[in-house]
Amino acid sequence: MTRMKTKVKAKRAKLYTRDDLKAWIWTNYVDARTDIEFQMTMDRHFIGKSKSGLPWECLLVYAIEAAAKADPDRFPHPVLNAYVIGQTVYLVDRFPKRGDQLVHSVRYNHNFTGTLRKFDTWSKRRFLKHFGGEGCAIRLKVPRDQSGVRYGMIPKSGRTDGSRSVLRGAHRRAVDAGLIPPIAA
């Protein structure tokens, strides 16, 4: 009996390379399999070189690239470049051998959103005054599946057989607000 290989549709994303959104590159990406955590120090060089609002030159991109350069064993793949959009981080691990081909990247989520928003809205001087003396831990997390309603098991304090599902996230808030009817469990 021979097994047939099934072709999985490649996941693709469009990464903009100019701030007027007229130039971009396509990337094939895979979801990360493990979390990565590292410490970031916020000094003048980092913050002075970063540009707010540009996903390829933001503070988190420079922090990731510096961490990958300082300790390459921390990452399970090479990090050639980084791109941050929203809570998603694309770490480019392969460039094409020839032109007009797709780059390859690994997708993560991050926990740096609140600080990154402050960097985008505050002046660099105010940001340095507020966060300059302290570093922060950055965690690149495995992205969750974004399709459908997510359910979780009952916490340990409740029933342990897992027979009842607990609603999570936006669906739970909509049910609590009475906007949609609850799902019968």
- Model pLDDT, residue 78: 92
Q: Are 111 and 48 in contact (CB under 8 A)?
A: no
pLDDT of 92 reads 92
Domain definitions of the chain by residue range = 12-141, 148-185
**pLDDT value for 3:** 60
Collapsing DSSP to helix, strand or coil, 44 comes out as: helix
pLDDT category, 107, cuts 50, 70, 90? very high
- Reported pTM: 0.68
pLDDT value of residue 108: 93
What are the residues whose beta carbons fall under 8 Å from the beta carbon of 23, sequence distance 6 or more?
16, 17
Residue 149's pLDDT is 43
pLDDT at residue 155 greater than cutoff 60: no
Average pLDDT on 117-121 reads: 76
**pLDDT above 90: residue 90:** yes
Q: What is the distance between the alpha carbons of residues 156 and 161, in angstroms, rounded to a whole number? A: 10
Q: What average pLDDT does the chain have?
A: 77
Q: How confident is the model at residue 118 (pLDDT cuts 50, 70, 90)?
A: confident
